[in-house]
Chains A and B, each alone.
Chain A
Amino acid sequence: NAGVTQTPKFQVLKTGQSMTLQCAQDMNHEYMSWYRQDPGMGLRLIHYSVGAGITDQGEVPNGYNVSRSTTEDFPLRLLSAAPSQTSVYFCASSVAGGPIDTQYFGPGTRLTVL
């Protein structure tokens, strides 16, 4: 049982490039989410999904796209990277996204945009 996995661990992009951060979970969780972690800002929710085919915006969605075609996978796409997107990105999942559900986090992806 691998839990929540993320790839890559590190990535350097040039401004304007696009890329996809991968996230997968093997716990059959319905709820998945993406956060970015910035110094002094804590964790901020980018997008989330309550099940396959359903996604919604979080606190800071601009510049990011998501899709949820399967229960297991929840990729995050950066269409045109900007230096402001330099951050550490965490994917998380929980059983159903309810108020008492524990969230399980991936190891993170450290992204630098030059």
Chain B
Amino acid sequence: AQRVTQPEKLLSVFKGAPVELKCNYSYSGSPELFWYVQYSRQRLQLLLRHISRESIKGFTADLNKGETSFHLKKPFAQEEDSAMYYCAPPDSGTYKYIFGTGTRLKVLA
């Protein structure tokens, strides 16, 4: 079964500093990976997905098949980026979505 690891439970950075939230997955194929975000008092929502190659709110994520990683990056963190972030690939060959344990990002003023 697909596994996904987010090694940091909490990541604190200062406003304006670069941010990298790590995500490693175990899958030998070409997974479709997602990042979901949960802001305080809001529901989980899609932030970005690998297939779209998009940049949302300044965040990008590059799929590195060699390292099996899909790290989320932003060059200059903003206070409004403070939230819980989940990396999520669908399980190979099933309809199950597997979420990582999440990383709480705190952007300090």
Contact = CB atoms under 8 A, between A and B. Distances in A.
A106 B43 CA distance: 6
Nearest to A43: B99
Interface in A5-45: 31, 33, 35, 40-45
Contact of B95 (A42, A56, A100): A56
Contacts of B51: 100
Nearest to A96: B95
How many residues of A sit at the interface, in one of the four size bands? 20 to 34
B44 interface: yes
Which among A31, A35, A40, A100 has the greatest number of chain B C-beta atoms within 10 A?
Answer: A100
Interface in A75-114: 90, 92, 97-100, 102-103, 105-108
**Residue among A43, A50, A59 with the most chain B CB within 10 A?**
A43
A45 B43 contact: no
A58 B20 CA distance: 30
Contacts of A108: 43
A74 interface: no
Nearest to A49: B95
A102 to B, nearest CB: 5
B28 to A, nearest CB: 15
Given A42-B86, A100-B51, A90 B44 contact: yes
11 contacts: A31-B95, A40-B9, A40-B101, A42-B102, A43-B88, A43-B99, A99-B32, A103-B88, A105-B44, A105-B45, A108-B43
Given A100-B49, A103-B88, A108-B43, 9 more contacts: A40-B9, A42-B101, A42-B102, A45-B96, A98-B90, A102-B46, A103-B44, A103-B97, A106-B43
